[in-house]
């Protein structure tokens, strides 16, 4: 692509992404284990005519858990493992033998994963820190054996409970990176260059649009051993909400950022208009994004002279802090860090607060947009059918097992 391509000429293009290792959207089917049956058994032994009931309880079915694991960075490991089944509980046996408990299943996910119910679009849970364990589906309880039902008046009960049924759910896992500052800008605005100059991250940099095809994080060192995390996401263009360019799917990675850094190159004709286009695309993706604190960085200022910078200052938006920077010469970089740091430490604007005090409101999926979203993600899995016999009685009080069952 020629180096002078502007975003106006790009707005008609749709980028086809190659298969990438950065997977931030996966749909999987999960099923817990059903409870084992209680046993209906009467003790039999030589010279012991009325041995009494000795049927043991069934074991419980395995649960399905989600577990935050900081060793994972994407959902790639789940892309090819889309059915998660926990083990069923074992049936009870004679001699009061308890059935084995079903093995639990843990789905390891990177920190920052949000879970939605794929059928209803409802928000289910959010895994934000390493070691966090969230129970997704509970296994069925095991049924009681007939030994448990013996009474003075019914000394040989000929019934036992069936186990509780399993639960199943198809879920959508969405990774939303955890960073303090998110970079928002058109392609070629210098986002990756800024991230590589501020941190040790080495995203690909080149003079053509859509160099960055997947988000990357960098840790920016600040004074006194302090630091904050910055996320570089692919550029967005006008009409991204309709799927132009790479669309808006990567904006989910800045949904959690407490601060958004807008980046517009200094050699752009109308900086204010570009900023407004970006704001508008953000609004169309998620109006809540506009509640976040914002900073505007005018990039590539080494291409401008001081006079021009002074002229530009007057035409810039006045509702947010503006910094003129150049990642190449280092102009304004320290000032930018200071502004970002002070904005980050602004009361009510810290990532920790947002995560811990549940200020993040995860909106349920809009079902009208949901199917097109899934199509865009290439989702085509067929939900596994539950076994016929397993969807039997769901009432643990049902004592319908009159046959001897060992």
Ligand X SMILES: Nc1nc2c(ncn2[C@@H]2O[C@H](COP(=O)(O)OP(=O)(O)OP(=O)(O)O)[C@@H](O)[C@H]2O)c(=O)[nH]1
Binding site for ligand X (CB under 6 A): 185, 187-193, 205-207, 209-212, 234-235, 299-300, 302-303, 326-328
Of 125 and 213, the one with the shorter C-beta distance to ligand X is 213
Alpha carbon distance 6, 225 (integer Å): 40
Of 159 and 186, the one with the shorter C-beta distance to Mg ion is 186
Q: What angle do CA 377, 283, 245 make, to 5 degrees?
A: 45
> Smallest gap, in angstroms, from Cβ of residue 227 to ligand X?
21
> Smallest gap, in angstroms, from Cβ of residue 339 to Mg ion?
22
Task: Return residues touching Mg ion (CB under 5 A).
Answer: 192, 211-212
- The per-residue DSSP string of 93-132 comes to BTTTBPPPPPPPEEEEE-TTEEEEETTT--EEEEE-STT-
Residue 361: how many other CB atoms lie within 10 Å: 7
Q: 30: Cβ–Cβ under 8 A, 6 or more apart, which residues?
A: 64, 83, 84, 85, 105, 107, 136, 137, 168, 169, 170, 171
SS3 216: strand
Of 9 and 154, the one with the shorter C-beta distance to ligand X is 9
Distances (CA, A) of 54 to 46, 155, 399: 16, 11, 16
Of 110 and 265, the one with the shorter C-beta distance to ligand X is 265
> Smallest gap, in angstroms, from Cβ of residue 165 to Mg ion?
50
74 binds, among Mg ion, ligand X, none (CB under 5 to 8 A by kind): none
Q: Where are the beta strands (DSSP E) in 300-364?
A: 322-324
Of 211 and 326, the one with the shorter C-beta distance to Mg ion is 211
> Smallest gap, in angstroms, from Cβ of residue 298 to Mg ion?
17
Burial class (CB in 10 A: 0-12, 13-18, 19+), 173: buried
209 binds, among Mg ion, ligand X, none (CB under 5 to 8 A by kind): ligand X
Distance, first Cα to last Cα, the chain: 72
146 binds, among Mg ion, ligand X, none (CB under 5 to 8 A by kind): none
> Smallest gap, in angstroms, from Cβ of residue 295 to ligand X?
16
Of 115 and 194, the one with the shorter C-beta distance to Mg ion is 194
> Smallest gap, in angstroms, from Cβ of residue 201 to ligand X?
12
For the beta sheet containing 133-137, the strands, ordered from the edge strand earlier in sequence to the opposite edge, are 105-109, 64-68, 133-137
406 binds, among Mg ion, ligand X, none (CB under 5 to 8 A by kind): none
256 binds, among Mg ion, ligand X, none (CB under 5 to 8 A by kind): none
302 binds, among ligand X, Mg ion, none (CB under 5 to 8 A by kind): ligand X
Of 63 and 211, the one with the shorter C-beta distance to Mg ion is 211
DSSP label at 189?
A: S
> Smallest gap, in angstroms, from Cβ of residue 189 to Mg ion?
8
> Smallest gap, in angstroms, from Cβ of residue 130 to ligand X?
29
Tell me the pairing of strands 181-185 and 322-324: unpaired
> Smallest gap, in angstroms, from Cβ of residue 212 to ligand X?
3
300 binds, among Mg ion, ligand X, none (CB under 5 to 8 A by kind): ligand X
Q: Are 247 and 10 within 8 A, CB to CB? A: no
207 binds, among Mg ion, ligand X, none (CB under 5 to 8 A by kind): ligand X
Q: Where are the beta strands (DSSP E) in 189-343?
A: 216-222, 226-232, 259-265, 293-299, 322-324
Length of the chain in terms of residues written: 406
Provide the CA 65 distance to its chain's centre, in angstroms.
15
Residue 218: how many other CB atoms lie within 10 Å: 24
Of 201 and 241, the one with the shorter C-beta distance to Mg ion is 201
Residue 184: how many other CB atoms lie within 10 Å: 26
187 binds, among Mg ion, ligand X, none (CB under 5 to 8 A by kind): ligand X
Of 39 and 326, the one with the shorter C-beta distance to ligand X is 326
């Amino acid at each position: 692509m020629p180096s002078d391509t502007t975003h106006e000429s790009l707005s008609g293009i749709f980028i086809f992404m190659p298969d990438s290792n950065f997977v931030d959207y996966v749909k999987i089917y999960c099923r817990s284990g059903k409870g084992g049956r209680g046993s209906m058994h009467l003790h039999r032994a030589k010279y012991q005519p009325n041995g009494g009931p000795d049927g043991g309880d069934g074991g419980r079915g395995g649960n399905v858990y989600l577990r935050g694991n900081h060793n994972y960075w994407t959902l790639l490991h789940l892309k090819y493992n889309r059915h998660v089944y926990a083990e069923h509980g074992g049936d009870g046996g004679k001699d009061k033998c308890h059935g084995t408990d079903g093995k639990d299943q843990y789905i390891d996910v990177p920190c920052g994963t949000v879970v939605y119910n794929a059928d209803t679009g409802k928000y289910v849970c959010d895994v934000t820190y390493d070691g966090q364990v969230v129970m997704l589906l509970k296994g069925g309880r095991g049924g009681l054996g007939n030994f448990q039902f013996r009474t003075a008046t019914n000394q040989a009960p000929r019934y036992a409970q069936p186990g509780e049924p399993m639960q199943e759910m198809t879920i959508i896992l969405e990774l939303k990176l955890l960073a303090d500052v998110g970079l928002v800008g058109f392609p070629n605005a210098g986002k990756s260059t800024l991230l590589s100059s501020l941190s040790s991250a080495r995203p690909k940099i080149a003079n053509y649009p859509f160099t960055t095809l997947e988000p990357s994080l960098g840790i920016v060192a600040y004074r006194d051993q302090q630091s904050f995390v910055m996320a570089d996401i692919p550029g967005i263009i006008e009409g991204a909400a309709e799927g132009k360019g790479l669309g808006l799917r990567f904006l989910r990675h800045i949904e959690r950022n407490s601060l958004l850094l807008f980046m517009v190159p200094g050699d752009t004709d109308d900086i204010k208009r570009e900023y407004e286009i970006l704001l508008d695309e953000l609004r169309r993706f998620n109006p809540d994004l506009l509640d976040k604190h914002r900073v505007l960085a005018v990039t590539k200022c080494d291409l401008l002279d001081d006079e021009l910078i002074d002229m530009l200052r007057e035409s810039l938006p006045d509702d947010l802090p503006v910094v003129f920077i150049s990642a190449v010469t280092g102009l304004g970089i320290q000032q930018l860090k200071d502004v970002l740091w002070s904005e980050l430490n602004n009361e009510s604007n810290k990532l920790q607060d947002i995560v811990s005090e549940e200020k993040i409101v995860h909106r349920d999926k809009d079902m009208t947009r949901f199917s097109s979203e899934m199509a865009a993600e290439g989702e085509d899995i067929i939900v596994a059918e539950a076994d016929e016999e397993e969807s039997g009685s769901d009432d643990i009080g049902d004592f319908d097992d009159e046959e001897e069952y060992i």
